[in-house]
Chain A
Amino acid sequence: DAGITQSPRHKVTETGTPVTLRCHQTENHRYMYWYRQDPGHGLRLIHYSYGVKDTDKGEVSDGYSVSRSKTEDFLLTLESATSSQTSVYFCAISSGDYGYTFGSGTRLTVV
Chain B
Amino acid sequence: AQSVTQPDIHITVSEGASLELRCNYSYGATPYLFWYVQSPGQGLQLLLKYFSGDTLVQGIKGFEAEFKRSQSSFNLRKPSVHWSDAAEYFCAVGGFGNEKLTFGTGTRLTIIP
A contacts, CB < 8 Å to B: 1, 31, 33, 35, 40-45, 48, 50, 58, 90, 92, 94, 96, 98-100, 102-105
Closest chain B CB from A93 CB (angstroms): 11
Please determine whether A100 and B105 come into contact, CB atoms closer than 8 angstroms: no
Closest chain B CB from A105 CB (angstroms): 6
Please determine whether A102 and B106 come into contact, CB atoms closer than 8 angstroms: no
B contacts, CB < 8 Å to A: 6, 32, 34, 36, 41-46, 49, 51, 90, 94, 99-106
- Main DSSP-derived SS at the A contact region: strand
Please determine whether A40 and B34 come into contact, CB atoms closer than 8 angstroms: no
Partner of B99, one of A40, A42, A96: A96
Please determine whether B43 and A103 come into contact, CB atoms closer than 8 angstroms: yes
Please determine whether A45 and B43 come into contact, CB atoms closer than 8 angstroms: no
Complex Cα gap A99–B99 (Å): 10
Closest chain B CB from A48 CB (angstroms): 6
- Main DSSP-derived SS at the B contact region: strand
Please determine whether B103 and A43 come into contact, CB atoms closer than 8 angstroms: yes
Further pairs besides A45-B100, A102-B44, A105-B41: 17, Cβ < 8 Å: A1-B43, A33-B100, A42-B6, A42-B90, A42-B103, A42-B104, A42-B106, A43-B90, A58-B100, A98-B34, A98-B101, A100-B34, A100-B36, A100-B44, A100-B46, A102-B43, A104-B43
**Which residues of chain B come closer than 8 Å to A98, judged between CB atoms?**
32, 34, 49, 51, 94, 99, 101
Please determine whether B43 and A105 come into contact, CB atoms closer than 8 angstroms: yes
**Could you list 16 A-B pairs, sorted by A, with CB under 8 Å?**
A40-B105, A42-B6, A42-B90, A42-B104, A43-B44, A48-B99, A48-B100, A90-B43, A90-B44, A98-B101, A100-B34, A100-B36, A102-B44, A104-B42, A105-B41, A105-B42
